[in-house]
A and B are shown apart, each in its own frame.
Chain A
Amino acid sequence: MLLQRRFEEKVAEAYALGKIGGFCHLYIGQEAVGTGAISVLRDDDYVVTSYRDHGQALARGITPRAVMAELFGRSDGCSKGKGGSMHLFDRNTNFLGGHGIVGGHIPLATGVAFAIKYRGGDQVCLCFFGEAAVNNGAFHEALNMAALWKLPVIYVIENNRYGMGTALERASAINDIAERACSYDMPNEVVDGQDVFVVREAIARAVTRARKEHTPTLLEMRTYRFMGHSMSDAVSGTYRTKEELEEHMKRDPIEVLRGQMEEMGDWNDENMTTLDNEVREVVEDSWNFADNSPEPSIEALHENVLVDTTSDAEASAAVAGD
């Protein structure tokens, strides 16, 4: 979580310097959700997420170097510099992408779970999206099919209270959005998304249900974003007050975890400083790596539009994700 925080602080710096461009959505404040959730997964499970994907990519084990290089638009980036901030992909860790169209990737998660069941596997697919996406048709269609066909998928709503500048209450007819699962007779829970242990436990329950019973789950993680919607949005703007933001920042997920670890008696300020220094070095290294990575060549512009393989072996390897 600390790595994600320091990494994204650096991302903000790089953005200001013009090393990163386009839309760039920070995860700061929400780290416990992705970290807790992904920590429960096995290596052969799958993760699909939205454009707010830096933290989850790091939590899944994509190297800071590969993520930073992607953000810098370089050829060593995890998507070879073609995707950028919103489209981090990594086949090695079964990280099936950051996706830019709100709600668009939710059916993909259902499809991944369909493929798992189809092949008789016991993996699960974890799908992250914001609370504003639950108003979108794709969400409902995807959940209905997952429940109907009993697919091993866990839908994680990251309820950070806002979709851009629109508060949850101004966009959804019900405020307890986990209840949307009731229409599909799907297990659901509201979870404290600022407490990484609570997140882990809820995900673990859902993962067990998915692996053992092929039952999908909808989890509503209550969290908050400490930054603007994207780098082009003010931190607190017309739609939320500074006071509200400050109130929520009191439950910084990193501080919550630190408190818990101190209480457990195996953590102190000195440990924290050491860790922080280590993390800062890793981040610094990722910056240097990204900065020195070559830009994609002009030939790369035309690569990857289509593949030219057609063999069955290759097609099934693509399905297996290996």
Chain B
Amino acid sequence: MPVITYRDALNQALREEMQRDDRVFLMGEEVGVYQGAYKVSKGLLQEFGEMRVVDTPITELGFAGVGVGAAMVGLRPIVEFMTWNFALLALDQVVNAAAKMLYMSGGQYPMPMVFRGPNGAALQLSAQHSQAWESWLAHIPGLKVLAPGTPYDAKGLLKSAIRDDNPVVFLEGEMLYNTKGEVPEEDYLVPIGKAELKREGEHCTIVSHGKMVLVAMQVADQLAKEGITIDVVDLRTIRPMDVDTVVTSVRKTNRAVVVEEGWEFCGVGAQVADYIQRECFDDLDAPVLRVHQADVPMPYAKAIEKAAKPDVRKTIDAVKRVMYLES
């Protein structure tokens, strides 16, 4: 199987879906001539032309709304945000328009569109450019929220998102774009709403999504050397959440740690922990612990930025705590 980057996997998904359905178009800042701020849309302008690969001014609110309008009358827009930090300006359209259109119209206007772009922190980009928004977006009924952590899932999920008739929020990661993985040549989809057990173990479950899946896998590798084996559940889709996969794993391991990039308060991990306490109350041998960003805006200076971020060490500590081991 070819090994390609997360970036190329997304690029393939966009290309294949645009070839498959001429109602699909891509719109956003620098997606065309510049070939994408992170080169995800490389070559698409050349292949599909300017009507289908649309460079916009820096007007997130405006072009997100243009996408919503186009979707109302039958197109299938993919709206790219250079990063989700800037999508904040467009949240009115995402939340007040896209997420509610079907409901407000009594089912008359579905929103077959995708909002996508990198989410979460990269390196030393400081407070305004280092934020993980999934808990905000997952809060909203009417949106589906996806956060793939591997090239395989990125491609398969993006294709499913584009084919879905609902507004889908698709969260990528700047630090994920260069990561590599196996991606088959033939057409495939990854279903929305299905988590995946990325690693099997027996002592503890780690639930994560997006970039943090890589952290969870490293933790599993390291702890395996100490004889501790981990079930790594990759949510892949945050909403609708695949509670069954989480619950099945926790019923087996009796312990869970949830890792996410965002802040603790009202985070995705809070929702996961809630499902676990409801479904696995009698199975738990320890409270569910969470690993997340420190409760501060992201600082610039290297050392304290590192201290603010969830990482392998903090996750190992959490696993050891739920196992009542010395760390």
Whether a CB of chain A sits under 8 angstroms from the CB of B286 is: no
Query: Least Cβ distance of B115 to chain A in Å?
Result: 18
Where chain B touches its partner, the secondary structure class is loop
Chain A residues with CB under 8 A of B300:
21-22, 70, 73, 79, 81-85, 87
B58:A73 contact, CB within 8 angstroms: no
A22:B125 contact, CB within 8 angstroms: yes
Contact of B124 among A84, A104, A165 (CB under 8 A): A84
B123:A301 contact, CB within 8 angstroms: no
A152-171 at interface with B (beta carbon < 8 Å): 163-166, 170-171
Query: Least Cβ distance of B35 to chain A in Å?
Result: 7
Chain A residues with CB under 8 A of B85:
100-101
Q: When chains A and B are docked, how far (Å) is the Cα of A136 from the Cα of B57?
A: 8
Q: Map CB proximity to A onto B285-326 as digits: 1 under 8 Å, 0 otherwise.
A: 000000000111101111110011000000000000000000
Q: How many residues of B contact A (CB 8 A)?
A: 36
B34:A164 contact, CB within 8 angstroms: yes
B299:A137 contact, CB within 8 angstroms: no
Q: When chains A and B are docked, how far (Å) is the Cα of A37 from the Cα of B300?
A: 29
Q: When chains A and B are docked, how far (Å) is the Cα of A81 from the Cα of B86?
A: 23
Chain A residues with CB under 8 A of B35:
238
Query: Least Cβ distance of A250 to chain B in Å?
Result: 26
Whether a CB of chain A sits under 8 angstroms from the CB of B37 is: yes
B301:A103 contact, CB within 8 angstroms: no
A266-322 at interface with B (beta carbon < 8 Å): 295-298, 300-302, 305
Q: When chains A and B are docked, how far (Å) is the Cα of A172 from the Cα of B295?
A: 40
B302:A164 contact, CB within 8 angstroms: no
List the count of A-B residue pairs having beta carbons below 8 Å apart. 129
Query: Least Cβ distance of A80 to chain B in Å?
Result: 8
Q: Map CB proximity to B onto A13-35 as digits: 1 under 8 Å, 0 otherwise.
A: 00000000111000000000000
Q: Map CB proximity to A onto B41-75 as digits: 1 under 8 Å, 0 otherwise.
A: 00000000000000111110110000000000000
Given contacts A81-B300, A164-B30, A166-B33, contact A171 B57 (CB under 8 A): yes
Chain B residues with CB under 8 A of A137:
59, 61-62, 89
Contact of B299 among A23, A133, A301 (CB under 8 A): A301
Query: Least Cβ distance of A308 to chain B in Å?
Result: 15
A295:B294 contact, CB within 8 angstroms: no
Q: Which of B126-134, B154-162, B223-231 contacts A (4 or more CB under 8 A)?
A: B126-134
Given contacts A81-B300, A82-B300, A301-B308, contact A170 B33 (CB under 8 A): yes
Contact of A23 among B58, B129, B303 (CB under 8 A): B129
Q: When chains A and B are docked, how far (Å) is the Cα of A237 from the Cα of B125?
A: 23
Contact of B128 among A86, A164, A239 (CB under 8 A): A86
Contact of B304 among A100, A101, A301 (CB under 8 A): A301
Q: When chains A and B are docked, how far (Å) is the Cα of A227 from the Cα of B42?
A: 23
Chain B residues with CB under 8 A of A200:
none
Q: When chains A and B are docked, how far (Å) is the Cα of A165 from the Cα of B88?
A: 22
A83:B58 contact, CB within 8 angstroms: no
Query: Least Cβ distance of B306 to chain A in Å?
Result: 10
Whether a CB of chain A sits under 8 angstroms from the CB of B29 is: yes
B128:A99 contact, CB within 8 angstroms: yes
Query: Least Cβ distance of B282 to chain A in Å?
Result: 37
Whether a CB of chain B sits under 8 angstroms from the CB of A135 is: yes
Whether a CB of chain B sits under 8 angstroms from the CB of A178 is: no
Chain A residues with CB under 8 A of B33:
165-166, 170, 238-239
Q: When chains A and B are docked, how far (Å) is the Cα of A164 from the Cα of B300?
A: 22
Chain A residues with CB under 8 A of B295:
302, 305
B59:A136 contact, CB within 8 angstroms: yes
Contact of A301 among B59, B124, B296 (CB under 8 A): B296
A135:B307 contact, CB within 8 angstroms: no
Whether a CB of chain B sits under 8 angstroms from the CB of A235 is: no
Chain B residues with CB under 8 A of A82:
126-127, 299-301, 304
Beta-carbon nearest neighbor of B88 in chain A: A101
Query: Least Cβ distance of B98 to chain A in Å?
Result: 18
Query: Least Cβ distance of B83 to chain A in Å?
Result: 10
B34:A87 contact, CB within 8 angstroms: no
Given contacts A81-B300, A239-B33, A239-B34, contact A135 B126 (CB under 8 A): no
Ranked 7 nearest A-B pairs via Cβ: A84-B300, A73-B301, A22-B124, A21-B124, A165-B34, A135-B57, A100-B128
Given contacts A22-B126, A83-B126, 10 further A-B contacts (CB under 8 A): A21-B123, A23-B125, A82-B127, A82-B300, A87-B127, A103-B58, A136-B57, A165-B30, A166-B34, A301-B304
